[in-house]
Amino acid sequence: MARLHPLDLPEIRNHLALFLPRHELTVCARLSHVWYYSLLPYIWSELRIVPVGSFCSKNIPPLALARGSSCIQKLDYIGKPKTHLGSLHCPKLKHLTLHWYDQFVLDFIRRHRITLKGLTFAVIKDQDENKQNNHEFWETAMSCPRLESLSVSGVHITRQDLPHFWGLWSQLTFLKLSMLDIHLPGLEESSGAVFTRIKELELDGVGGRTQLQLLAWCPELVSLIWRRPFHHVSDSFSSDLKSIGNLLSDYTQYCPKLIRLTVEVNATSADDEILPFLKSRSNAPIERLSLKKNWFGEATWSHLQQSHHRHKLKILELKGVRGKMVQEILCSLPNLTSISAPWIQDIDMIEDPRPWVCLGLTRWSICIDLVQKETSQRMVFERLGTLQSLETLDLAKVESRGKNHRPLGNVQFLSFGLDHGLDSLRNLRKLNCLSLLETPQEMDAEDLYWMLENWPRLGHLYGTLHPDGLMGQTLRGILVAGMVLPRIDCGVSVS
């Protein structure tokens, strides 16, 4: 009797497929008919179609599209749909993204209305063709009984659209409004009952006091994301910007379950502007707080330390916080599971003898700048080694290291080598992702073998491991053999 190989079991193949990128799935699918039919649902589960003639168009053969359509769960159609979409049938389709619509698209939505759970709709506001017929789109969307998620961007809304527009919201749990008119017509006259199911609300480029009134009609709201692009800030909105903390505190009294807040405003903001909101949530502490620019400073931190938020806060993302403030946070928030900030210096970590209390931290996304690299590396590694629950260690938040965030002088990074103290991280046995992007390394084979032995869950490694291309290829081979699946760039960068 032939001996059964583990990869002959469909359960094993299906589990492996969850961790492979699409281009590697397509390679594996060519091994045999068995592998092909096992991996087909994973290859086709998400599909982006860019019609021929469009920028970056991808021509998918009709026969291949017809063969894989039964597996498509998420479809993103870029540009103006062609007639072949009218004959496409996707029985498992759950989420549809459109950048244009016509009669073929409306017919497509109607055919899949039973399975659709999410819809993203973005058109150009100045297109008169779509301006006049949006009510037909909203009417079609309302015919989807299982629709829970709606994202709307740049859509012109008329008073004729409102009955369908408000009616559609009544069945949603997630709503994102992006780049809409400053004042939605008819918002003041709408009934609060239409928003009672919404738990997640995202306002992106939707300004003015009128939109914040939406919060008063979302009593079940759990998560609020509020963004305001710089180029969209108007004079009428600037006064609201100066007192957003007061506005949020006024309206979120109607949202007793709100525990996650993200505010992104590309403008200078004072430290204490978010304080009215935090104080208004004293009976319902925030679990996730994400603030951009200068919203978080001494005044805000002082309140957090003395309030109930300190014991509930789990996720903290702060673009304007660095250095000693990061150290204060690590020493003061015991339930923190994720932190993201621009940078912290080794002297901040070493000169403060207090232990870090956030021992349940699973995600670290902070660049570490070594002022005293020759003497401090091992001590920094020892500090990081106390975070035994870490699953993601990101030491290179690339987008945060602009001139406004970078420390003075040349930034020096940790060298991941055994001779520099890497062995102090032996207890990070849950580590799954290590990001060293923009932090050039000079590792050798012994360092990687140590990682594979001591970090059994390591699956992703990003960054330049060695300046020499040939050595980089050798290190890549070690990672692949250890079931770490890297992609290599120019022979040196594993990403």
Residue 231 has pLDDT above 80, yes or no: no
In whole angstroms, what is the distance from residue 91 CA to residue 41 CA? Answer: 12
| 447 pLDDT tier (thresholds 50, 70, 90) | very high
Range in 12-21, 365-374, 477-486 with the lowest mean pLDDT:
477-486
Rounded mean pLDDT of 305-328?
A: 83
In whole angstroms, what is the distance from residue 228 CA to residue 264 CA? Answer: 6
pLDDT, the chain, mean: 78
Count of C-beta atoms within a 10 Å radius of residue 93: 25
Higher pLDDT, 455 or 217: 455
Question: What is the structure's pLDDT at 191?
Answer: 53
Count of C-beta atoms within a 10 Å radius of residue 346: 21
Distances (CA, A) of 147 to 50, 94, 95, 129, 269: 25, 9, 9, 26, 37
Residue 236 has pLDDT above 80, yes or no: no
Question: What is the structure's pLDDT at 149?
Answer: 94
Question: What is the structure's pLDDT at 492?
Answer: 38
- Convert the pLDDT of each residue in 354-363 to its tens digit: 999 999 999 9
Range in 58-67, 174-183, 406-415 with the lowest mean pLDDT:
406-415
Question: What is the structure's pLDDT at 473?
Answer: 86
Rounded mean pLDDT of 389-415?
A: 67
Count of C-beta atoms within a 10 Å radius of residue 222: 17
Eight-state DSSP code of residue 115: T
Residue 235 has pLDDT above 70, yes or no: no
Question: What is the structure's pLDDT at 393?
Answer: 95
Considering the chain, what percentage of its residues have pLDDT values greater than 70? 77
Taking a C-beta distance cutoff of 8 angstroms, is the pair 367, 395 a contact?
yes
Rounded mean pLDDT of 177-195?
A: 60
Question: What is the structure's pLDDT at 186?
Answer: 56
Residue 208 has pLDDT above 90, yes or no: no
Taking a C-beta distance cutoff of 8 angstroms, is the pair 418, 443 a contact?
no
Task: For residue 288, give every residue at least 6 positions away whose Cβ sits within 8 Å of its Cβ, in sequence order, or none.
Answer: 223, 259, 260, 261, 262, 313, 314, 315, 316
Rounded mean pLDDT of 482-495?
A: 49
Rounded mean pLDDT of 388-411?
A: 65
CB-based burial label for 418 (10 Å; 0-12, 13-18, 19+) = middle
In whole angstroms, what is the distance from residue 28 CA to residue 371 CA? Answer: 47
- Convert the pLDDT of each residue in 254-271 to its tens digit: 788 888 888 776 555 667
Range in 72-81, 217-226, 382-391, 412-421 with the lowest mean pLDDT:
72-81
Output the six-digit token pair for 305. Answer: 């330390």
Question: What is the structure's pLDDT at 166?
Answer: 77
Higher pLDDT, 131 or 306: 306
* CA atoms in the 13 A half-sphere facing the CB of 182: 10
| 480 pLDDT tier (thresholds 50, 70, 90) | confident
Rounded mean pLDDT of 336-348?
A: 91
Question: What is the structure's pLDDT at 58?
Answer: 58
| 339 pLDDT tier (thresholds 50, 70, 90) | very high
Question: What is the structure's pLDDT at 357?
Answer: 93
* CA atoms in the 13 A half-sphere facing the CB of 169: 24
Eight-state DSSP code of residue 438: T
Question: What is the structure's pLDDT at 375?
Answer: 83
Rounded mean pLDDT of 128-143?
A: 70
Taking a C-beta distance cutoff of 8 angstroms, is the pair 241, 263 a contact?
no
| Element housing 37 (H / E) | helix 33-43
| Element housing 251 (H / E) | helix 244-251
Rounded mean pLDDT of 188-213?
A: 70
Higher pLDDT, 384 or 277: 384
Strands 460-464 and 493-494: antiparallel
Question: What is the structure's pLDDT at 73?
Answer: 93
Question: What is the structure's pLDDT at 434?
Answer: 92
In whole angstroms, what is the distance from residue 302 CA to residue 332 CA? Answer: 11
Question: What is the structure's pLDDT at 165?
Answer: 76
Phi, psi values for residue 117, rounded to 5°:
-115, -20
Question: What is the structure's pLDDT at 494?
Answer: 44
Question: What is the structure's pLDDT at 401?
Answer: 43
CA angle 222, 225, 229 (to 5 degrees): 170
Question: What is the structure's pLDDT at 388?
Answer: 95
| 438 pLDDT tier (thresholds 50, 70, 90) | confident
Count of C-beta atoms within a 10 Å radius of residue 364: 21
Higher pLDDT, 298 or 41: 41
Question: What is the structure's pLDDT at 162?
Answer: 73
Taking a C-beta distance cutoff of 8 angstroms, is the pair 390, 428 a contact?
yes
Highest mean pLDDT among 175-184, 199-208, 412-421: 412-421
In whole angstroms, what is the distance from residue 232 CA to residue 246 CA? Answer: 21
Residue 182 has pLDDT above 80, yes or no: no
DSSP 308-319: THHHH--EEEES
Cα-Cα-Cα-Cα dihedral sign, residues 60, 62, 68, 74: positive
Strands 118-122 and 200-204: unpaired
Residue 489 has pLDDT above 50, yes or no: no
Burial call 112-142: b when 16+ CB within 10 Å, e when fewer:
bbebbbbbbbebeeeeeebeeebbebbebbb
- Convert the pLDDT of each residue in 112-134 to its tens digit: 999 999 999 876 444 444 444 57
Range in 10-14, 162-166, 375-379 with the lowest mean pLDDT:
162-166
Question: What is the structure's pLDDT at 460?
Answer: 86
In whole angstroms, what is the distance from residue 494 CA to residue 482 CA? Answer: 14
